[in-house]
Chains A and B, each alone.
Chain A
Amino acid sequence: EADIYQTPRYLVIGTGKKITLECSQTMGHDKMYWYQQDPGMELHLIHYSYGVNSTEKGDLSSESTVSRIRTEHFPLTLESARPSHTSQYLCASSETNYYGYTFGSGTRLTVV
């Protein structure tokens, strides 16, 4: 079944650790996005990609980086996690603007 997958669902790590949040989609969508979502707050775009080897930063200043080597894979990396990175991270993809986004289930990250 075509879908978008995020792993892990939950992650608790110590300050200073390097982590990678995985996102994969099986729909062949060119456009992929990473959003940060805090409780009771709107989603903030942190990175997006319009295709292989294309990545851009979003509105929210982020210390994370992304890569897009394959169409289906869009991982997000934090080189040195801090407690301020504690949040939920949502990955999404889209085919055309008309259809909106398809979202993954999210990764809830806690940095202690």
Chain B
Amino acid sequence: AQTVTQSQPEMSVQEAETVTLSCTYDTSENNYYLFWYKQPPSRQMILVIRQEAYKQQNATENRFSVNFQKAAKSFSLKISDSQLGDTAMYFCAFMRYNNNDMRFGAGTRLTVKP
């Protein structure tokens, strides 16, 4: 079974600074997808960024980028120029190519301080 581990229950960062959220996963599969989701307080969970395991290049979406280390089974999220609106729970998730079941980590609560 696949497991996803987020070792940082809570983090904080000053506005405009950079923060990195950690995620590791365990799988014997070679082909899969990885995702980071953002869940603001009392609001809808939204997709931040995705990575396909067969792609070596790290995904980037504006201020959000990942550091994907396939051999180490690590998938960290870097948020640059943090904004107050980035305050949220962040969930790392794993999904196999041929399976529709998405596995989530326990989440990291990020607070951006003014």
Given the known inter-chain contacts A90-B45, A100-B47, please indicate yes or no for A41 contacting B93, CB distance below 8 A: no
Q: How far is the CB of A31 from chain B (nearest CB, A)?
A: 6
When distances are taken between beta carbons in the complex, the residues of chain B under 8 Å from A40 are 9, 106-107, 109
- Chain B neighbourhood of A102, CB < 8 A: 47
Considering residues B50, B52, B102, which has the most beta carbons from chain A within 10 angstroms of its beta carbon?
B102
CB interface residues, B 22-49, toward A, < 8 Å: 33, 35, 37, 43-47
Classify the secondary structure of A's interface with B.
mixed
* Cβ of A21 under 8 Å from chain B: no
Q: Contact residue range for chain A?
A: 20 to 34
A100-B93 in contact given A42-B4, A42-B105, A43-B104 (Cβ < 8 Å): yes
Residue of B nearest to A43 (CB): B104
What number of B residues sit within 8 Å (CB to CB) of A? 27
A99 to B46, CA, bound (A): 11
Considering the chains assembled together, what is the distance between the CA atoms of A48 and B53 in angstroms? 25
Q: Give every chain A residue within 8 A of B104 (Cβ-Cβ).
A: 42-43
Interface membership of A55, Cβ < 8 A: no
CA distance A50 to B100 in the complex (A): 9
Q: Are B100 and A100 interface neighbours, CB within 8 A?
A: no
B61 at the interface (CB under 8 A from A): no
**What residue of chain B has the Cβ atom nearest to residue A44's Cβ?**
B104
State in angstroms the CA–CA spacing of A100 and B97 once bound together: 11
Offer 14 A-B interface pairs, CB within 8 angstroms, sorted by A: A33-B102, A40-B106, A40-B109, A42-B4, A42-B103, A42-B105, A42-B106, A42-B107, A97-B97, A98-B33, A99-B50, A100-B33, A100-B93, A102-B47
